Amino acid sequence: MIEVTVLFLDQSFSSTAIGPMEVFRHAGTLWNFLTGTRPVPRFRVTTASVDGRTVRCDGPIHIRPGAALTDIRKADLIFIPTTGPSLDDVVERNAPVVPWLRRWRRRGAAIASVCSGVGLVAATGMLDGKRATTHWGIADRFREKYPKVKWMPELMVTEDRGFYCGGGVHAALDLSLYLVEKFCGHDIAVQTAKALLIETPRAWQAGFAIVPLKTEHSDDRISSAQEWLHQNFHNSFPLEAPARRVGMSLRNFVRRFKQATGDSPLIYLQKLRVAAGKRLLESDHRTMQEISDAVGYQDVAFFRALFQRHTGVSPSVYRQRFGA
């Protein structure tokens, strides 16, 4: 059972706390209930405010948590909602949260935040040198305030070394589903999305949000190559192309890539294309040839064989099981 703590913060948009809480609570249960199978809860959800008292959200909504920060004894994942529309006094309003996050990160907890809540994590200094996204409307202010963070507001979801960020308010659901996939696997994430009637493709639209392949390493040049592959996987290119972009020989590139990610560049690219194919099969009504072309393979027979090798089922069976 994964222990997740969802923070309730004053002035936050209540949906960015309640929505993720419901996604985590129903992962492994609601789909099972609807389909008549035994529920297997995946997350144990605890809600907490700074002092354990009821918080007033943006507007006339009050929500009461189940605990205070000091009551939390175990957390594998911490989810931080928006901190509200006012950005100037965010740290002052939530001062105890900053050292509390540092302590839990040292204990190994993953930290997720969405929209303006990403700024609260940035204030801890733990996002320095890492990729992060936030709402496009506040990205420039965050760039000025936290210049050491690699801000990528064009992405819906980012992941970097145990830190997960979501864009605008409704990206809270995208980020939550991404975390369900990360912690519980793709099948559980799809089932959760279907049970809650959440549109799944948004969670994996762009960049590293498309699939949780290994990005938690310190080789910046390989990270740059991964980003390029995520942006260009649908095109045909030789492996020398990403190697040249990061200034490496092909031999050195292959060696460092496998050392950093655990996969050769070719296998990584195949996994990326298969993952993109899975998203299209789940949500799109294009033919197999069109899907194969869209993910970078003109030879549809080769794509079918590759898909079967990586997933254990044919594309048609996968579509029957998970398609809209």
For residue 158, give the H/E element and its range: strand 157-160
Main-chain phi, psi angles of 68, to 5 degrees: -100, 165
Please tell me the predicted confidence (pLDDT) of residue 289.
Answer: 95
Please tell me the predicted confidence (pLDDT) of residue 216.
Answer: 65
Please tell me the predicted confidence (pLDDT) of residue 186.
Answer: 83
Instruction: Please identify, among 169, 191, 210, the residue that sits at the C-terminal boundary of a domain.
Output: 210
198 lies in the same domain as 224: no
226 lies in the same domain as 197: no
189 lies in the same domain as 279: no
Q: What is the CATH number of the domain that holds 286?
A: 1.10.10.60
205 lies in the same domain as 61: yes
Would you state the torsion angle of the CA atoms of residues 204, 209, 213, 214, taken in this order, to the nearest 10 degrees?
Answer: -160
The CB density around residue 161, as the number of other CB atoms within 10 Å, is 14
CB under 8 Å, gap of 24 or more: what pairs does 58-67 form? 58/11, 58/12, 58/13, 58/14, 58/82, 58/84, 58/85, 61/14, 63/8, 63/14, 63/17, 63/18, 64/8, 65/8
177 lies in the same domain as 255: no
198 lies in the same domain as 228: no
Do residues 261 and 288 lie in contact, with contact meaning Cβ atoms separated by under 8 Å?
no
Which residues on adjacent β-strands are paired with residue 5? 46, 78
168 lies in the same domain as 267: no
Rounded Cα distance between 320 and 304, Å, is 15
Q: What is the CATH number of the domain that holds 95?
A: 3.40.50.880
Domain encompassing residue 195: 2-210
94 lies in the same domain as 204: yes
Number of domains forming the structure of the chain:
2
Walk along the chain (324 residues) and give the pLDDT tens digit of each residue.
999 999 999 999 999 999 999 999 999 999 999 999 999 999 999 999 999 999 999 888 999 999 999 999 999 999 999 998 888 888 888 999 999 999 999 999 999 999 999 999 999 999 999 989 999 889 999 999 999 999 988 788 888 889 999 988 888 998 999 999 899 988 898 899 889 988 654 443 333 334 445 566 778 899 889 889 988 998 999 999 999 999 999 999 999 999 998 889 999 999 989 988 988 888 778 899 999 999 999 999 999 999 999 888 899 988 887 776
Instruction: Please identify, among 210, 230, 254, the residue that sits at the C-terminal boundary of a domain.
Output: 210
In a domain, 215, yes or no: no
For residue 255, give the H/E element and its range: helix 250-261
72 lies in the same domain as 156: yes
